[in-house]
Amino acid sequence: MSRAGEKEGIVVIGAGQAAAQLAISLRQGEFGGEILLIGAEPYLPYQRPPLSKKFLSEQQSPDKLFLRPKNYWRDHGIDLALGVAAAHIDPRNKTVTFADGREIGYGELVLATGTRASLLPLPGATFENVFSLRAIVDVHGLRPVLDAAERVVIVGGGYIGLEVAAVLRGEGRAVTVLEAEDRVLKRVTAPAVSDFFDTLHRGHGVDIRLGARLAAILGETRTTGVALSDGEVLPADLVLLATGARANDELAQAAGLACQDGILVDEFTRSSAPNIYAIGDCTRLPSRRYGRRLRLESVQNAVDQAKAAAAVLLGGPAAYDPVPWFWSDQYDVKLQIAGLSTGHTDCDIVGEPAAARFSAEYRCDGRLIAVDAINDARAHMLARRHIAQETEPTDAVALEGAA
């Protein structure tokens, strides 16, 4: 029996972190069929985390981000169609149509389309000095405007907003962060961790406004500042919208695949349509470990879910139910998060926040479900092991919303 897709090849839509890992793992598993990655961006597959960190601050060349050099793809017989988007999928005839009208067939199709910035429905969001940050092209657009900017307003006190704030303070620019919630990083961390990052940023001179609602981006074609819902006006030479991301699942929806802010997949990365899989940020995956479906936006998930998909395509299915993990770098502080803290019943702080080395341990009914480690890589690694043991899925763990 031939391996999945061996005869007609595997086509991957998206050429980012997950797509690259899938192709690499397929070749490592000695998959001999054709592999084609279709990428809307004109770059070789690259990693995004440095976009809000070193790549932004050091103004590096794009090849520093590439996951593999050009030769790698050629030498491993992995075809890349870059700078062109896939516009349509026909699951019945097993074809993909490119935006330029070309059509190709597939044996197996993998969707790895990632996410895009969710933009605020405000006039001014498309002004020439208002940006979001997802791709190399965004940094290339943003950087020259930034170089001439003295005052920057960042909308959103999540990871990307805070990482960029740290870079910009390093450059001496005046930075205001607007956060609608009553603390930064509220969606992902405990109050003690939010407090730590709040103090860290204020200590570096960032003006953090909590409970701040953006009412308008002012200006005509360029922004001159923002207005808050309480009437205050903050002048700005550049506004960065760092208000989260949404899954690129429109192609899948149009092809009739089940989606719910993300392409629904099972633990074997299979979508609701035959011969179509999905991996990475664009998926909503089942976690028996956490008893619900998750949409994860992390390198860990892109890489590990891609490896799981490759294993399935190579004929050795292994259920994917990870302990998610993530990191964020701000100034000289490394935050490493293991597990998911949502639904915790207790949170203990271990170590000393004042010494910038501590952990927040989250438990649900006594079981360790997540740990945020600050400047403590060992605690993070141990946490990943412990959480895996303590959240080991059993048949008794129901999966909310499972079909």
Contacts with ligand FAD, residue ranges (CB under 6 A): 13-19, 38-41, 48-49, 51-52, 85-86, 112-114, 133-134, 160, 248, 251, 280-282, 297-300, 302, 326-328
Nearer to ligand FAD, 160 or 241 (CB): 160
Show the tokens assigned to 240. 């960065």
Smallest distance, ligand FAD to C-beta of residue 163, A: 7
Nearer to ligand FAD, 157 or 219 (CB): 157
Smallest distance, ligand FAD to C-beta of residue 398, A: 27
Nearer to ligand FAD, 16 or 156 (CB): 16
What is the phi/psi pair of residue 287, to 5°?
Answer: -125, 105
Smallest distance, ligand FAD to C-beta of residue 259, A: 14
Q: Which residue is nearest to ligand FAD (CB)?
A: 16
- Residue among 182, 146, 183 nearest 165 (CA): 146
Smallest distance, ligand FAD to C-beta of residue 324, A: 9
Nearer to ligand FAD, 194 or 298 (CB): 298
In the chain, the N- to C-terminal Cα span, in Å, equals 31
Smallest distance, ligand FAD to C-beta of residue 278, A: 9
Nearer to ligand FAD, 19 or 218 (CB): 19
Smallest distance, ligand FAD to C-beta of residue 20, A: 7
Nearer to ligand FAD, 189 or 364 (CB): 189
